[in-house]
Amino acid sequence: MNILIIEDDQRVAELIRRGLEEQDFALTVAYDGLSGKKLALQHDYDLIITDIILPKMDGLDLCKYIRQTKPDTPIIMLTALGTTDDKVEGFDAGADDYLVKPFEMRELLVRIRALLKRNNKTSKGTGFILRIADLEMNLHTKIVKRSGQEINLTPKEFTLLEYMLQNPERVLSRVEIADKVWDTHFDTGTNFIDVYINYLRKKIDRDFDKKLIHTKSGMGFILKAE
């Protein structure tokens, strides 16, 4: 597996490089955003790890660019910025996971393996049309429509809705959503899952009479046609 690390702190980059090479990953390191962008464009990496605060091009803009050119490449953001707003901004930029510094190498390895495993399953493909009521998601074209009207979703909104469509009429707890959609443990001190549910509601339900996303107080959320 080939991994690109984009990190301007050479000490942190070296720690990650050594830790991953011990697990038989092949590593390439870039120390600024523009160099990382160039490498990401020229090569097909199995996964990219990037800091947010980078010289020459910040990690958020870099992530957006990679998402446009390499939409299926998993991206993990490493950053000292750990508030809910920071995480939402990172996920909106297209990150698949978000790890706050300082972190343990074991946790990074768990996140990497989970993303690589999930990406491998996705690439094999299954049924590529998901539906409930008048809501339809095409997994090949990444187009979501309701009543024939196309709905524009961010990458993380798309992934969240995809999981809900794969598990209709079942209550999904915040813990399960964090584990299955974000590949992380749910931090009760943050509300980023509720933030994304509200984002989806505004796009999926607000302009339609029939509501599909429902809250079960104290339990979680459920996608169903009432």
Check pLDDT > 60 for residue 146: yes
Task: Determine contact, residues 30/36, Cβ cutoff 8 Å.
Answer: yes
Mean pLDDT within 148-153: 92
Residue with tokens 């107080």: 217
Q: Which CATH number fits domain 2-124: 3.30.2130.30, 3.40.50.2300, 3.40.50.300, 3.40.50.20?
A: 3.40.50.2300
Q: What is the pLDDT of residues 192-212, one digit of tens each?
A: 889 999 999 999 999 898 999
Q: Which CATH number fits domain 129-223: 1.10.10.10, 3.30.360.10, 3.40.50.150, 3.50.50.60?
A: 1.10.10.10
Please write down the HEC assignment for all residues of 59-114.
HHHHHHHHHHHCCCCCEEEEECCCCHHHHHHHHHHCCCEEEECCCCHHHHHHHHHH
Name the residue among 45, 44, 51 with its Cα closest to residue 16. Answer: 51
- pLDDT recorded at residue 119: 65
Q: What is the pLDDT of residues 98-124, one digit of tens each?
A: 888 888 888 889 888 888 877 665 444
Place 126 in a pLDDT band, splitting at 50, 70 and 90: very low
Q: Within 10 Å of residue 45's Cβ, how many Cβ atoms?
A: 21
